Structure 1
Amino acid sequence: MASSCTQLCLKCRGLLCSKTVASAWSYSTQLRHCTKVAILPAKILNGSSAIEGNHTTTGRQQWKQQMFCYSDLTAKHLATEAKESNDIEDLSRADVVAYKTAPIRDAVPVTESQTSFDLDAAAEFSALEEISDEEAVSISVPSAMPPASISLRDYVDQSETLSKLVQLGVNLWKLEQRPNVGSMLLRLNFNTDVAPRLLFLKDIGVEDSCFGYIITHNPFILTENLENLQARVNYLKSKKFSSETVASMVSRAPYLLNFSVKRLDNRLGFYQQQLSLSASNTRNVVARLPRLLCGSLEPVKENLKVCEIELGFKQNEIQHIVIAVPKVLTANKRKLIQIFDFLHNIMKVPHHLICKFPQVLNTKYLRIKERHLFLEYLGKAQYDPSLPNYISLDRLVSLPDETFCTELALATLEDFYLFQKTL
């Protein structure tokens, strides 16, 4: 009972003290303001202008003004205190009973400092306060990514996705040169976005060593829907491409699985109809050069016209050349014309011999030129199979320099190198 009364008295005292302090603070502030006003130079308020300088109020007038302010503020302060004392006395009996029946908690002594501004608590959160070494070490500062950078290497330490891609062998310096690819990679989560695509590639037979090459050339495979990827693989298998062939095609043509089933079907149909190939030959050509399904068809159409119109090959000859060397379809048109012109017009090789050894169309022009001129210098440039000392085009372009000199030219390698310097 005594403790309950004590708590009630303490509460009333705190309420009264807090209000009294606040009132006194307001009263003293107004009093200081009144004093400052009183000592200001006198001004004529009823006129249109204020007269300052030597025309100041007398000491008696200043005293009257101060006393007027004191009496006014004192009356207001007394009225406020009377009202607050009446509010405290009007506490109802129910409130007293509630205080008596309230559970007794751990008593905390109420000091006079608790009724004033707690400056110590405010100083506790000061940024200038010294802390111990243990507290400094325990502070965790999150590593923030750079707001902007021209290189992905600045984000590798903060991004799990980029660090794992580097471990896989991805060349970030190539990807950062492509627009919007760097920001796309930073938004990816390795566990939810990258890892499922890598597992998919592994499931279809792609070697782990090929992941870096595939992502470097086609980072957009990391954003492809897994169901779409699986549907495209199923389509290729339905066209009787073996699992090993599909894995090899994906490894050598990273963009292959980014194209829809409809596009893949249209490409296969184009090559089969345009070249009059069987289904087996079409699979053979595409499996050896899978980028035929990814690239544009315009260069392919142009090369077919060049072979037929400018080079003069027949339809069946073009078909044979493409089956043997699919790269002819995507070769540089100028290079293709240059090689054929040297073979047919300088070396006097007919069309049917070129069709018999179509690999010659896929070799370097300088290699053919140097070796033919060396043989011609030695008097051994003979490419007709019906005549003695025949030299096949296949051996002419495929043998290394040393074997070419000893078996075809019957000369030393030093002689060939000295002849090259004269060209």
Structure 2
Amino acid sequence: MVPMALSFGQLCMRCRSLFCTKTLAVTWQHSNQVQYCSTVIGEPAKTLNGSSFISKNHTSQSRQRWQHKIFFQSDLTVKHLATEATEEKGPKTDVVAYKSPLLPIKDTLPATESQASVASISLGDYVDKSETLSKLVQLGVNLWKLEQKPNVGSMLLRLDFNRDVAPRLLFLKEIGVEDSRLGYIVTHNPYVFTENTENLQIRVNYLKSKKFSPETIASMVSRAPYLLNFSVKRLDNRLGFYQQQLNISASNTRNIVARLPKLLCGSLEPVKENLKVCEIELGFKENEIQHIVMAVPKVLIANKRKLTQIFDFLHNTMKVPHQLIAKFPQVLNTKYLRIRERHLFLKYLGKAQYDPALPNYISLDSLVTLPDETFCTNLASATLEDFYLFQKTL
């Protein structure tokens, strides 16, 4: 019984191994292999000691399962090859999605390996064969993270370092990006190598025209690697959106975006939703929302559940009014557990007093920003050990 079972496993492994073939002939072989597996699995059931080894019904079910699996893998392979062919049609200007330029495969790589999908292998295996990968590793690029991005492995293997990589890295250095940030940028945005350097320069010039300083632009690109992959039209629309939605000046808009450049890269839907939450659900006025966002831009993309949970505790449990929360908006960017533990400890000690018009006032800023030891000494007039013991009772 065991040898027979092993033979079925080996046959199936032989069929499956053909899908990993590193030549384009793999699509032609699928139909033959499907027929071969179907024929073998459909052979008459063997008998052992006068009894049927596999029932007819079981054989039929096994055949169906293997055929389904083979056709599924075949479909994936065909889709992959179709994607490869589509990507090599050439890049489009100012398109955010991945664009793979038609580049020759490096001579140092075997033809069969360069044509294969690298999704199932480690890029580390190619470091010694690829000058591009070798030098990217020296820059601090995380190859493991790059492997998680669709088609990036095959794209990198096609790049020539001197022609495709070096000019983009040099451009980043020329606009002020520090060497220590190059690895981070490439790890998070390898598609920068598919961008025309002229387009990159156009986008930098646009930001300069909007009065972003060179130092600010370099900082923004270092923290939001996808920034320069977006067209001037998109960048302009985003800046206009924040200025209009928040009803603030161009200067304040620049300030917000410079501190959180991800606002120019991500989806606008979470931003729109959070603005509605602040106005409708939380009940803040327009000027209060403006102050909150200018002080803590991250509120625009904060988790909605966390935002409402913190506000509910501050306003309904701690009885802190809207204007006081707006005055110290950093509290909305703090961990909920931190606020809850500290407030309950102060309440236990009879010191939870947040009204600035009354004695022994404790500001929200001090409540959430002070380290534990300073919080205990200055605000709670207790020891750190007392606070830790109290936390265990919660």
Checking the alignment, whether the CA contact within 8 Å between 1:217 and 1:254 is kept in structure 2 is yes
Return 5+ residue gaps in structure 2 as ranges.
Answer: 1-107
Determine whether 1:389 maps to 2:360.
Answer: yes
Q: Which residue of 1 aligns with 2:392?
A: 421
Determine whether 1:354 maps to 2:325.
Answer: yes
How many angstroms does 1:177 deviate by? Answer: 1.2
Q: 2:162 aligns with which of 191, 202, 208?
A: 191
Checking the alignment, whether the CA contact within 8 Å between 1:285 and 1:323 is kept in structure 2 is yes
Q: Which residue of 1 aligns with 2:72?
A: none
Q: Which residue of 1 aligns with 2:215?
A: 244
Change (3 A) 1:145 1:211: farther
1:179-208: CA deviation from partner (whole Å, max 9, x where unpaired): 100000000010000000000000000000
Change (3 A) 1:146 1:404: farther
Q: Which residue of 1 aligns with 2:179?
A: 208
Checking the alignment, whether the CA contact within 8 Å between 1:146 and 1:155 is kept in structure 2 is no
Question: Secondary structure at the residue paired with 1:283?
Answer: helix
Q: Which residue of 2 aligns with 1:291?
A: 262
How many angstroms does 1:143 deviate by? Answer: 7.2
Identity in percent: 86
Determine whether 1:411 maps to 2:387.
Answer: no
CA-based RMSD of the aligned residues comes to 1.1
Q: 2:140 aligns with which of 165, 169, 177?
A: 169
Q: How many Å separate the matches in 1 of 2:171 and 2:130?
A: 23
Query: Which amino acid counterpart does residue 291 of structure 1 have in structure 2?
Result: K
Q: How many Å separate the matches in 1 of 2:300 and 2:112?
A: 47
Return 5+ residue gaps in structure 1 as ranges.
Answer: 1-141
Question: Secondary structure at the residue paired with 1:241?
Answer: coil
Aligned ranges for residues 2-17 of structure 1 at < 5 Å?
Answer: none
Query: Which amino acid counterpart does residue 413 of structure 1 have in structure 2?
Result: L
Q: 1:263 aligns with which of 234, 238, 247?
A: 234
Question: Secondary structure at the residue paired with 1:240?
Answer: coil
Determine whether 1:181 maps to 2:156.
Answer: no
Aligned ranges for residues 223-238 of structure 1 at < 5 Å?
Answer: 223-238=194-209
Checking the alignment, whether the CA contact within 8 Å between 1:171 and 1:216 is kept in structure 2 is yes
Q: Which residue of 1 aligns with 2:15?
A: none
Give TM-score scaled by structure 2 length.
0.71
Question: Secondary structure at the residue paired with 1:385?
Answer: coil
Change (3 A) 1:278 1:396: same
Checking the alignment, whether the CA contact within 8 Å between 1:271 and 1:282 is kept in structure 2 is yes
How many angstroms does 1:146 deviate by? Answer: 7.4
Q: Which residue of 2 aligns with 1:118?
A: none
Q: How many Å separate the matches in 2 of 1:421 and 1:230?
A: 57
Question: Secondary structure at the residue paired with 1:422?
Answer: coil
Query: Which amino acid counterpart does residue 327 of structure 2 have in structure 1?
Result: K
Checking the alignment, whether the CA contact within 8 Å between 1:245 and 1:287 is kept in structure 2 is yes
Determine whether 1:369 maps to 2:337.
Answer: no
Instruction: Tell me the number of residue pairs that the alignment of Structure 1 and Structure 2 aligns.
Output: 282
Checking the alignment, whether the CA contact within 8 Å between 2:109 and 2:130 is kept in structure 1 is no
Checking the alignment, whether the CA contact within 8 Å between 1:145 and 1:155 is kept in structure 2 is no
Give TM-score scaled by structure 1 length.
0.66
Checking the alignment, whether the CA contact within 8 Å between 2:139 and 2:182 is kept in structure 1 is yes
1:12-66: CA deviation from partner (whole Å, max 9, x where unpaired): xxxxxxxxxxxxxxxxxxxxxxxxxxxxxxxxxxxxxxxxxxxxxxxxxxxxxxx
Q: How many Å separate the matches in 2 of 1:228 and 1:143?
A: 31
Question: Secondary structure at the residue paired with 1:303?
Answer: helix
> Larger RCO: Structure 1 or Structure 2 (Cα < 8 Å, ≥ 6 residues apart)?
2
Q: Which runs of 4+ in 1 moved over 6 A?
A: none
